[in-house]
Amino acid sequence: MGVVVAATHLQLGEPVAIKFLLPEALRHRDVVQRFLREARAAARLKGEHIARVLDVEQQPDGSPFIVMEFLDGHDLGRLLEERASLPPGDAVDYLLQVCDALAEAHVHGIVHRDIKPANIFLARRPHGVHAVKIVDFGISKVASHIEDVVTRSRATMGTPAYMAPEQMRSARDVDPRADIWAAGVVLFECLAGYRPFDAETFPALCLQVTTNEPAPLPIDVARGLRDIVFRCLEKNPLGRFPDMASLAAALAPYARHPIEAAMIVDRTRAMRTQADSRNAHARVTLPASECTQRERQVTTLRENALRVPHTMSRRSRSAVAAAASAVVIAAAVSMWLHYRDDGPPPVVPAATPPTSGPTGATVRSTPTPTPTPAPALVDQASPPASSSPKPARTRAPHIVKARATRRSADEARPVAQETAPTPADMPQRTTQETSGVVPQPAPAAEEAKVKRAQRNRGEPLSPEDVCGSPQCE
């Protein structure tokens, strides 16, 4: 399709390489477009293992040409023709540099689709070591500009001996794993001196690639290295290495120069991270009206998402408050039921007033009555603490003996536990009775009352009238 010639830059005086299209290729528009696409794809890549594109120009007749950096050396295909196979360390070193170049291309969405020894250029360095340079991006596929890919439907693009099975079926559906297959074929050829699949015709080659297993590698190749090669040659793309960074990490232990291998592994991993970040933030360009509608939807969703935690918080707080209220109400109801069933603790009355007797003024025969102690509270569930006799009270002389006889009988009989009277049966008590303090009449007032009664009626009061007051019991 093209030819490369050495030249000298007139202004800079530096050697350059110029790539022209052959005259017969100029008649095919798709070939011209692929040629220009190669220039654009290579110009985006700045890595040291990719031949740099310096300029693109047109001749007076309109035919384009590409100005590239001048590379002093030869391609890998020529080296294999001279030596047949390479030492494993050298082959791995070359493939690691290929991984470095393709990792950068894949980050930019470019799939080379034509990796082969003729496109792997070994450029001489000043100290004599060869540096790999990837050339010829003429049939590369730029994933971010699918409309620029000029490929006929179901057409095959690339060199058949290095094409992946999916690339043989359709060149439009390939991804970076097609380049991983091609790199595996190149490594196989460097180690064995022959290709894993070989046939005289293209249909026979396609049949072998899609159905047969690859040829075996020489027995002197390390088992781990053989596993790497055969993983690259998995017919299912999912069985291959997922990216160039993974392939480089697997090859690094078999490199002749481990320091450079480690640097390549680090660079490819960094580029993979960059690609992952770019894919995560990729956006699809939409019309202005549709973009506005989508932005409104996203804003609404974002606002709703922000409201959800607050709504849930309020519900949570309400649920907690309701639960706490239920606990308090249950405790209150339980206490009310308990005291309703048990009733208030009974109070033993200090004395029982007589049910019969004439009504009259209550007078004590002695001027200084003995104060009555506070009534004891008796719990319904427990018996009285003691059955000690009630304290003696001062009574009228003519009833002391009878009262003493009845009190002796009461003291001899133990106090039995009685059922507390219900609130309806209990007499109403004043605040003073509840507190246990029984008011005592003043002695002077009692004497005055007795004297007035005797003067008015001219007769003494009966004993029943004297003991009619609750204080005499």
Residues designated catalytic? 114
Question: DSSP string of 240-288?
Answer: S-SSHHHHHHHHGGG-S-HHHHHHHHHHHHHHHHHHHHHHHT------H
Rg (CA), the chain: 58
Distances (CA, A) of 199 to 169, 206, 211: 18, 9, 13
Which run of H or E residues covers position 58?
strand 53-58
Query: Quick one: DSSP state of residue 458?
Result: S
120 — phi, psi (to 5°)? -110, 100
Token representation of residue 149: 């890919």
Asked if residues 67 and 15 have their Cβ atoms less than 8 Å apart, the reply is no
Query: Quick one: DSSP state of residue 449?
Result: H
Residues contacting 255, CB < 8 A, separation 6+: 89, 92, 93, 96, 261
Strand order in the sheet with 64-69: 2-8, 15-21, 64-69, 53-58
Token representation of residue 456: 């008015």
Could you tell me where the beta strands, DSSP code E, fall in 135-271? 141-142
Calculate the dihedral angle through the C-alpha atoms of 313, 315, 321, 323, rounding to the nearest 10 degrees.
Answer: -120
Asked if residues 436 and 375 have their Cβ atoms less than 8 Å apart, the reply is yes
Token representation of residue 154: 């179901």
Q: What is the 3-state secondary structure (H, E, C) of 364-431?
A: CCCCCCCCCCCCCECCCCCCCCCCCCCCCCCCCHHHHHHHHHHHHHHHHCCCCCCCCCCCCCCCCCCH
Distances (CA, A) of 409 to 301, 373, 383: 93, 21, 21
Chain-centroid distance, C-alpha 182: 41
